Amino acid sequence: MKKLLGYRRAASLVRGFGKARVLVAGDLIMDHFIWGRVTRISPEAPVPVVQVTKETVLLGGSANVVNNISCLGAKVYATGVIGNDRDGRKLKSMLVKKGIESDGIIVDRRRQTTVKTRVIAHHQQVVRFDREEKDRIAKAVAEKVLRYIEKTVKRVDVIVVSDYAKGMVTEEFANEVRRLAKGRPVIVDPKVEHFSWYKGFTAITPNNLEASRASGVDIKDDASLRKAGRILLSKLGCEAILITKGEHGMSLFEEGSETHIPTVAREVFDVSGAGDTVVGTFALSVAAGADFKEAAGMSNLAAGIVVEKIGTAVVTPDELIKAAARLLR
């Protein structure tokens, strides 16, 4: 890590976050957590009985990317679709309370807001259930999102597309974002079934499984990882592919070079939302003037912080500076 990114450079980038401006487009999700403890097995079925102690709601999906970028001090613009329901109103309200303008949040009265509910007991996820509609967003609604992007793009340094395959990102939408970007970097957190749509974007940040499936290579060692990275780089024509590997760190592939970054997490409690932190920090670092290697290093630091937390978490500038001081000096 020290060869990739020194402490002074990391600290300089963090200080520059406050001047950066990022637009995030994608699938807005509400993360609902039910917390409790298990003391017995149900007499009705061989399942744990969770005694609920509290419930929390957090920003998820592309809204979590927005939250991560905002918490790191940047100006962030959010756009996507919510339903005309309690969860949608709550999501919008949470963004507004964080100082994020709501003009890009489009309400679709015929659609429900996507909600992921996780039951967690003793720091372990017991079960997750989703309430969602995955059909593509209606054309008239998608056009409102694109009009917002067209209006806002001139104010930003970088665009993030956060694709959770909930209907917001379609091939037509991706093509329009590419056109509207007008040369600005576009960073994509992808879904594997949509990889062909991301041709020509600046960078994508798939996880190990997504990279394996999209490349057709069974990633099981360093050699197969390198092969998968090179295939994706060639197939998509991106400038960079950042493959996240959980507890094994990250690998960055660029034309003519590859960089393997070990994890900095001391202990992994929860990976929920870690991909959002990675793409958000990577894009924000690029907006602040980092090259791809430096941006990957910053993303790795941020990911190492969030996976040590329970639930959909974010990173603060102070936490990032402290991690850099501990690991990069």
- The tally of CA atoms less than 13 A away on the side-chain side of residue 232 is 39
Locate 211 and state its tokens: 């990279």
Q: Which of 104, 211, 99 is nearest to 168 (CA)?
A: 104
Q: Which of 70, 87, 91 is nearest to 23 (CA)?
A: 70
Cβ pair 19, 288 in contact under 8 A: yes
Rounded Cα distance between 77 and 152, Å, is 8
* Residue among 85, 222, 276, 318 flagged as catalytic: 276
Cβ pair 177, 159 in contact under 8 A: yes
Locate 298 and state its tokens: 């910053």
Classify 309 as helix, strand or coil: coil
Classify 264 as helix, strand or coil: coil
> Does the annotation mark 276 as catalytic?
yes
In DSSP terms, 207 is beta-bridged to 244
Q: Which of 56, 79, 59 is nearest to 67 (CA)?
A: 59
Cβ pair 161, 189 in contact under 8 A: yes
Q: Which residues are catalytic?
A: 276
